[in-house]
Amino acid sequence: MNFKFIITVFVLLVSLQLSSQELSLALSQHPNKQAVIVAVHGVRNDTLGTILLDQNGKGSFNFKTKQSVAGLVNLTIKDKAYLSYDFVLSPTESPTLICDMEYVYAQNTKMLNSPENDCLNRWFDNIVAYKQKITTIDALSKLYQPTRAFSKLLASEKQTVEKQLQMLTDTINQSNLFAAKYMQYKLAQEEKLAKVWESEAEKTIAKNYFTQIDFDALYGSSMWFAVINLCREAYVKESPYHQIFGEDVVENLKRIKNGQVYEDLIDAAISITQKFGWNKDEEAIVNFIVKDKRIKNPQGKLLKIMQSSAALIGKKGPDLLLTNWSENKPNTTVLKTDQLNSKYSLLLFYQTGCGYCETFITGLKSHYPKLINKGINMISIAGDTDQAIFTKSSSEFPWKNKYRDLEGMNGINFKNYGVIGTPTLFITNSKGIIIEKIATIEQLLAWMEKS
């Protein structure tokens, strides 16, 4: 007998068992139905697979490859819109979900072979119970004088419950489970981020928390958007941390291990900088990812983000490839940004039908005389693919230099300037150097006042 062959086969089988990941369902009230498993990744929902349940409501799904990280997943049953159940799926577990009721929820569901879900459910229930006790004690304490014996008993009981809560919190903080990370994010929203609007002290707490987030874990928690946007409030204009958002994002990017998480944090951060006109922060992020060279083959929005490094403040604006129409024929010319013969030039990238664009252009039209008085040359470039739509909408503009990219938002000028969303505006000086990037009409008016 070939013992080497037997050993090789045995090792192969063991390795396959160790590397496999399986999810089993036993939903007796849903025979012959399709169960869909969707993972929560950042702001996306990615379908992991569909499980066809047999006549007893049983079925399983073998993952071709383990999930790279633990995270929250959602179970739904096709044609049962009311049914939606969230649980943790970890690459180290092959759990079985059992429910003999039509509605699937935590109180009537068993999750076998899953320490992640056992801990998550127990921790969540205990924290809720402790906090409810503290709330009840506080309410009762208001009914009695502090000197009364019962008040002292209440104070003692509160101390006991608070100690139990702290011990549980310590246990969660020391655990390596994803369930612990999930609970930490939940508690952070309630205890560290909920009052971020109230004071500089609260903003400091949020800012410090932002620089310590494990984004690889946050990615699968369903709280990606909520946590990032709460932390963003620590960097608003009135905050002492204004204009260091970009620096903190860069430090977070350096710690991220998962490539997709890395790219999605960039996407989220740039969306914030563009929405609020945080140009310095955007420049810090863009400069880092270009130098970091971690992204090898950028596509879509990420490609535009990286291309925007060619149109940063302090650099010469890329020359414009402009198209005019005469007798229904395009006539294209190159307009060099260092030969615009004006003190300032305002380059507006917009798209007809964009609500923000319409609002901005309305403001531009009403303040156009001020632009003229400031020596500002107005140039608008539309991301419209339809010539008729562009002609109709631009006919009401009071300025004469109005063009469109033939390929719309994917046109050469939009690419050269790294335009991700509209409206996007650049102000250049007489030498074609970009001196300001504008996001709102208020920012434009403020710049005009000081220029």
pLDDT digits over 145-157, tens only? 888 888 889 999 9
Instruction: Establish whether the linkage from the previous residue to 330 is cis, with ω within 30° of 0.
Output: no
For residue 363, give both structure tokens.
Answer: 């403001």
Contacts (Cβ under 8 Å, ≥6 apart) of 205: 192, 193, 196
Instruction: Count the helices and strands in the chain (H runs, E runs).
Output: 16, 15
Taking only the tens place, the pLDDT of each residue in 107-139 is 899 999 999 999 999 999 999 999 999 999 999
Taking only the tens place, the pLDDT of each residue in 131-144 is 999 999 999 988 88
- Each domain of the chain, given as residue ranges in start order, spans 19-113, 117-180, 192-296, 320-450
What is residue 242's predicted lDDT score, i.e. its pLDDT?
95
> 19-113 and 320-450 share one CATH topology?
no
Residues 224, 218: contact at Cβ < 8 Å?
yes
Residues 343, 430: contact at Cβ < 8 Å?
yes
- What is 243-259 written as a DSSP string? T-HHHHHHHHHHH---H
Residue 53 CA to residue 60 CA, distance in Å, equals 8
What is residue 319's predicted lDDT score, i.e. its pLDDT?
93
- CB neighbour class for 13 (10 Å; exposed up to 12, middle 13-18, buried from 19): exposed
Q: Which CATH number, 2.60.40.180, 3.40.50.720, 3.40.50.300, 3.40.50.450, labels domain 19-113?
A: 2.60.40.180
Residue 414 CA to residue 382 CA, distance in Å, equals 9
What is residue 345's predicted lDDT score, i.e. its pLDDT?
93
For residue 251, give both structure tokens.
Answer: 């430090």
What is residue 147's predicted lDDT score, i.e. its pLDDT?
80
Contacts (Cβ under 8 Å, ≥6 apart) of 191: none
The CATH number of 320-450 is 3.40.30.10
Question: Which ranges of 175-330 does DSSP label H, i.e. alpha helix?
Answer: 178-191, 200-210, 215-218, 224-232, 245-255, 259-276, 279-292, 300-307
Contacts (Cβ under 8 Å, ≥6 apart) of 129: none
Name the phi and psi angles at 445, rounded to 5.
-65, -40
Contacts (Cβ under 8 Å, ≥6 apart) of 97: 23, 24, 25, 26, 27, 75, 87, 109, 110, 111, 112
| Angle between helices 149-174 and 178-191 in degrees, nearest 10 | 130
**Which segments in the chain show pLDDT lower than 50?**
1, 3, 5-18
